[in-house]
Structure 1
Amino acid sequence: MKSIQFSLVFISAILLVNCSPSKKISGNYTHEVECMGSELDGSITLKTWGKGKNRADALEQARKEAINAVLFIGIRNGKPDCDSRPILNAPNIRENQADYFSTFFKDEGAYKKFVSGKDESFGKKERVQGRDGEVMFGFIVRVLRSDLKKQMISDEILNIEK
């Protein structure tokens, strides 16, 4: 009888050890753009993420991600100082204006005029992403939101009713 009880306790202990929760890696988490603050000139400071083959590629992607969030998604995380509404909130605007936005977001596109050149890494958040060797970095960037909105109006992407 004691051997049966011992066997049950031993098997239970083995099962408990082997059934521990799996460890999660940070590659499975999404990193959303966060508001760090807003300025009186109509610009906003954002914490954003980018990944690429090196830091320069990651910076380019982080800048695009910041502009994309300001234009289409809105800033919902971080401090409440930033205007949380996206500049363009019309349904399917990105798909309807696909030619414009593919040119706007190309590597040397017009989006660069609306992101400050003084980007500061807030900590090297580096992760290998699968076999491709990409790394992820976090950056603090300033987006000229009011200038970006004016550009969308002058390019007739955003229609303002008078």
Structure 2
Amino acid sequence: MKKYGIFIAAFLLLVSVSSCRKDTVISSQGAFYSFETECLGTELDGSQTVRAWGAGSNKADAVEQARKNALRDVIFKGVTAGSSGCSSRPLILEVNAQEKYEFYFNKFFADGGEYEKYATSEDENKTSRIKAKNSTQTNYGVVVRVKRAELRQRLIDDNIIKP
């Protein structure tokens, strides 16, 4: 009887460890497809939860690029796909603003830059990442919370947009 108890405990431990943090994998052709950022919902503090996609040579690069893409889409394009809760209006309505303020945004989106304050992974759970991989690149779909109200205030303070 004691052997069965040990066997069952070992089996349950093996099952629980193997189920931790698995990414949903899609076709390898999906690694070449350009996915659109989609709205998953909004929070009462003015933040938006989105699924953004990033490509990179490894998982860390792809996830970081996805966070940058989420912010870029909220700032310059607006989020139109997915749930209707997110504001489809971009924060910056000015045409060619990304080129006009290129110096500012290059510094803002630099690795380890200020963008990390406004894009967090706090809404992500163990099964929320989607992976598309081939021999040369990896794409990840990542759930990101964009602090839209704080980001808007930052852009106002830095004289990029007007109140």
Do residues 158 (structure 1) and 161 (structure 2) align?
Answer: yes
CA offset digits 1:126-149 (Å, max 9, x no partner): 221xx6x21111111100000000
- Once residues 115 and 149 of structure 1 are traced to their aligned partners in structure 2, the CA distance between those partners, rounded to angstroms, is 13
Tell me the SS of whatever aligns to 1:102: helix
Do residues 138 (structure 1) and 141 (structure 2) align?
Answer: yes
Do residues 82 (structure 1) and 86 (structure 2) align?
Answer: yes
Instruction: Choose from 113, 126, 132 the match for 1:126.
Output: 132
- Once residues 27 and 60 of structure 1 are traced to their aligned partners in structure 2, the CA distance between those partners, rounded to angstroms, is 16
Q: Which has the larger radius of gyration?
A: 1
Distance verdict in 2 for CA 1:136–1:27, change over 3 Å: closer
Q: CA deviation at 1:54?
A: 1.5
Amino acid at match of 2:147: L
TM-score, length of structure 2 as denominator length: 0.77
Distance verdict in 2 for CA 1:39–1:73, change over 3 Å: same
Tell me the SS of whatever aligns to 2:39: strand
**Cα root mean square deviation, aligned:** 1.7
The unaligned stretches of length 5 or more in structure 1 are: 1-23
Quote the residue 1:3 is aligned against: none
Correspondence list, 1:104-123, <5 A: 104-118=108-122, 119-120=124-125, 122-123=128-129
- Once residues 137 and 112 of structure 2 are traced to their aligned partners in structure 1, the CA distance between those partners, rounded to angstroms, is 21
Quote the residue 1:98 is aligned against: 102
The unaligned stretches of length 5 or more in structure 2 are: 1-27
Q: CA deviation at 1:26?
A: 2.5
- Once residues 131 and 120 of structure 2 are traced to their aligned partners in structure 1, the CA distance between those partners, rounded to angstroms, is 21
- Once residues 47 and 87 of structure 2 are traced to their aligned partners in structure 1, the CA distance between those partners, rounded to angstroms, is 10
Do residues 147 (structure 1) and 150 (structure 2) align?
Answer: yes
Contact 2:31 2:137 in 1 (8 A): no
Correspondence list, 1:7-46, <5 A: 25-46=29-50
- Once residues 117 and 79 of structure 1 are traced to their aligned partners in structure 2, the CA distance between those partners, rounded to angstroms, is 19
CA offset digits 1:77-116 (Å, max 9, x no partner): 0000001100001011111111100000101111110011
Amino acid at match of 1:125: K
Higher relative contact order (CA 8 A, sep 6+): 2
- Once residues 64 and 140 of structure 1 are traced to their aligned partners in structure 2, the CA distance between those partners, rounded to angstroms, is 12
- Count of residue pairs the alignment pairs up: 134
Do residues 60 (structure 1) and 90 (structure 2) align?
Answer: no
